[in-house]
Every structure is written in structure tokens, then in C-alpha cells.
Homo-oligomer: A and B are copies of this chain.
């Protein structure tokens, strides 16, 4: 409750109830949520048009990551620490999405490879995303 207000003021956006509620719902989950899951957590406390607007606000201040799961459903997650670079693991059985960190040596090999691609295609690469797809055998909360 405190946290969410602090986040908003630190990013110089006005502190409103819908924003606090959405932030709290997102802060409450360490793994990403689909829009549906987020709406369920919020019940009817935030109008859906407002929910989309708030998500957009959070994207604008760069603390929200938005992507799509293997069914093309939109998924969001808060990105609070600058250094929290991570990737995602999707379970095709239960739909669970898990944040994963790749080892340092992998990330450094990837950086080198990215430099090669930048030269080859004359691109400036600003970001990347790695997603792994598979089946959990016992860890996902819905698969147990």
C-alpha cells in the first residue's frame, strides 16, 4: 500500500486509486499475469477502460513489461529493479509463466552474438527477449 504510492510519486505521475490498486495486484505476484488474471484479482474495483489506461501509464514510465503468451493472450509484469533482466518459461499444459534468469556465461555469449548481428545487419539492437516453451512436470501451481 505504501510501496505503490512511492512508485507512482517517484515516477512523477499522479497518485490515484485505480493506479494503486493495479500496482498492488501486480506487486503481489512474482510471475507475470494475463489481463484476465489481473482483472480477476481486481474484481470490479477498476473499470476495464481504466485498467487499460493504467497499464499504458505504467508502460510509459517504463515499469511494465507487456508480451503475449503462446495463445497470444496479453501478459504483463512489473519491472521494478533496473537490473532484473530475465526471460520466460511457459508451460503448455497449465499456462503458467515463470520468470527465469539465464547464467552469466550464457548472457555474455548472447551479447557477443548480438554484436555480430548488429554488424551484419547494420542494426542497433536495444533489447532482446528469450522465451522457452515446454511442460512442467511438477512445479507449476496448476499442474500439481
Contact = CB atoms under 8 A, between A and B. Distances in A.
Given A72-B68, A130-B129, A113 B124 contact: no
A126 interface: yes
A113 B100 CA distance: 11
Contacts of A130: 128-131
Interface residues of A, number: 39
Copies in the complex: 2
A68 B128 CA distance: 14
A82 to B, nearest CB: 18
A1 interface: no
Interface string A6-48: 0000000000000000000000000000000000000000000
A114 B132 CA distance: 8
Contacts of A127: 132-134
A49 interface: no
B113 A102 contact: yes
